[in-house]
Amino acid sequence: MRWTREELAFRAGVSWPAVAQIESGRRTHPRPATLSALAEALGVTIDYLVRGVPGDAPMLEHVALVYRNDDEFASSVTRFVTEGIERSEAVMVVTRPANIELVRGSLGRSERRVQFVDSETWYAEPAVTLTAYRDYASAKLEGGAPWVRVVGEPAWTGKTAAEARRWGRYESLINLAFASWPVTVLCPYDERSLQPKILSQARATHPETLAGGVPAACPDYVPPDGFVLDAGA
């Protein structure tokens, strides 16, 4: 890739002087939005752009919540969301309408600072959902949010065994797609209605599980290269 400064500036949507100052070292502390735009245009991570090597310390926090009743869901998710609000993070909750109302009722006035989305419309197709989350996170980070916090509960109702496996691979790929992003994702799984295979899959695709409001390493976690490439997963 051999772009001129002018072409890189155009593709990234930043000014040519900004690119020139960064290249020459005169601007030593570019804004996060500028770094993000340049990294996206070049097809690399911000860490690679700054350091010249791939990042070795993932930022993503990907946590599974296997809940047994409405109270456990509401208390766990409300605590998770409230922490994000207190830290001025961008917060989105994607779940079914009944669970949205549980969280809204627990948050009170703070619910105005959270974006709520029906999981039935959001989780239509793995590739589309992955892109939607990436677009949301990019927009919030470029808008100045220090971190992005998401509650994402797929709509499992009516899914065939093959579709469930595809969504399992999607959950595993989250660990790669957002590894270097300042993002925390909490994925609730309803123990009352989901098949044991899906719950087992959840534990295999999330590095951490939430227990008593505290994330802990999941002993059943399988890294993406092992999970996605396993034809039996």
Which CATH number goes with the domain that contains 92?
Answer: 3.40.50.300
190 and 124 inside one domain: yes
Q: Is the confidence at residue 230, as pLDDT, over 60?
A: yes
Tokens of 56: 């070795």
Same domain, 74 and 133: yes
Q: Which residues of 89-105 are buried (b: 16+ CB within 10 A; e: fewer)?
A: bbbbbbbbeebbebbbe
pLDDT at residue 233, rounded to an integer:
47
Q: Do 113 and 142 share a domain, yes or no?
A: yes
Task: Express each pLDDT in 203-221 by its tens digit.
Answer: 999 999 997 778 899 999 9
- The reply to whether 78 and 176 lie within a common domain is yes
The two three-digit tokens of residue 113, written as one number: 């600072």
Look at residue 232 and tell me if it is in a domain. no
> Residue 233: inside a domain, yes or no?
no
Are 103 and 184 members of one domain? Answer: yes
CATH number of the domain within which 32 lies: 1.10.260.40
Domain range for 28: 5-51
Query: Do the domain assignments include residue 168?
Result: yes
Rounded (to 5) percent helix, strand, coil in the chain: 50, 15, 30
Cβ–Cβ under 8 Å, residues 191 and 211: no
Is the domain of 151 the same as that of 215? Answer: yes
Q: Token pair of 107, please?
A: 């948050």
132 CA to centre of own chain? 10
Residue 111 domain-assigned (yes or no): yes
CA distances from residue 126 to 63, 170, 176 in whole angstroms, order as listed: 18, 6, 14
Number of domains in the chain: 2
What residue has token string 């002993």? 219
Instruction: Pull the structure tokens for residue 188.
Output: 């609730």
Same domain flag for 180 and 161: yes
Residue 87: strand, helix, or coil: coil
Domain shared by 157 and 46, yes or no: no
40-68 pLDDT per residue, tens: 777 776 766 666 655 555 789 999 999 99
Same domain, 40 and 65: no
The distance of Cα 146 from the centroid of its chain, to the nearest Å, equals 14
My answer on whether 10 and 111 are in the same domain is: no
Residue 77 has pLDDT above 80, yes or no: yes
Q: Per the domain annotation, does 56 fall within a domain?
A: no
Q: What is the pTM of this model?
A: 0.76
| pLDDT beyond 80 at 177 | yes
